[in-house]
A = this chain, B = another copy of it.
Amino acid sequence: MAPRGETKERILAKALESFSTIGYDGTSLDDLAEALDIRKQTILYHFVSKRGLLNAVLDDSVKKLTESLEEVLTSTNSNRDRIEDLVRSVFRVALEQPLLLGLLREVSRPGSPAAPRLKNQMSPLMSRAITWMEEEMESGRMRRTDAQLVLLSAYSTVVGLATEIEILRTAGVERVLRPAAQRRQELLNFLRTSLTPLEKQTI
């Protein structure tokens, strides 16, 4: 028998994989258990219910995502570098852990049982980013725009990228990095032209 939380971690990892590929409804606890060579009741023991498992996977994923971005948001670089750092780190996560963003995509679907929870989980990060952007705008270092719209646009680009990567991989495309880099550049350009004050634009 596995000591400590090892089994729990294994379940979380496999659940993330399953939820983010074949979806929540498409995942059955029986299949999950079989894939882990575990009895279904072991899953329910750790997570009470299937919904509980989804919540746990979600919490875990958002935590990892937040950690990845936290260090960038608290850095002391200049604005321009900061935007670039932010975009780069998000894309790094998307490339290294496409499953994580696949989950986001799965769960952010309207009508998903976990959508409100995701919203709550993400809102601190979001509102923080919005606040930061609005401060920058107030001080004139960033052009006045709807911060929420910009964020949303960036968000859907990244989630779209994650989808794209998985599709490419399953389609057998070997070089998956080039389109990603291309999209990253695209997003970066968009953010810069959206956010850089007009008088500072050097393009």
Report which A residues bind B (CB closer than 8 A).
Answer: 21-26, 105, 108-111, 115, 146, 149, 152-153, 156-157, 159-161, 163-164, 166-170, 178-179, 182-183, 186, 190
Contact = CB atoms under 8 A, between A and B. Distances in A.
From DSSP, what is the main secondary structure of chain A's interface residues? helix
B23 A167 contact: no
B110 A182 contact: no
Nearest to A183: B153
Nearest to A168: B152
Contact of A21 (B105, B109, B164, B167): B109
A24 B146 CA distance: 35
Given A156-B160, A160-B159, A21 B183 contact: no
A102 to B, nearest CB: 8
A168 B182 CA distance: 26
Contacts of A110: 21, 166-167, 169-170
22 contacts: A21-B110, A21-B111, A22-B25, A22-B109, A22-B111, A23-B25, A108-B163, A108-B167, A115-B170, A149-B178, A152-B164, A152-B168, A152-B179, A153-B164, A153-B179, A153-B183, A156-B160, A156-B161, A157-B157, A157-B160, A160-B160, A160-B163
A71 B108 CA distance: 34
Nearest to A22: B111
Contacts of A170: 110-111, 115
A159 B163 contact: yes
Nearest to A163: B156
A147 B168 CA distance: 14
Which of A24, A110, A115, A163 lies at the interface centre, i.e. has the most chain B CB atoms within 10 A of its CB?
A110
A152 B115 CA distance: 27
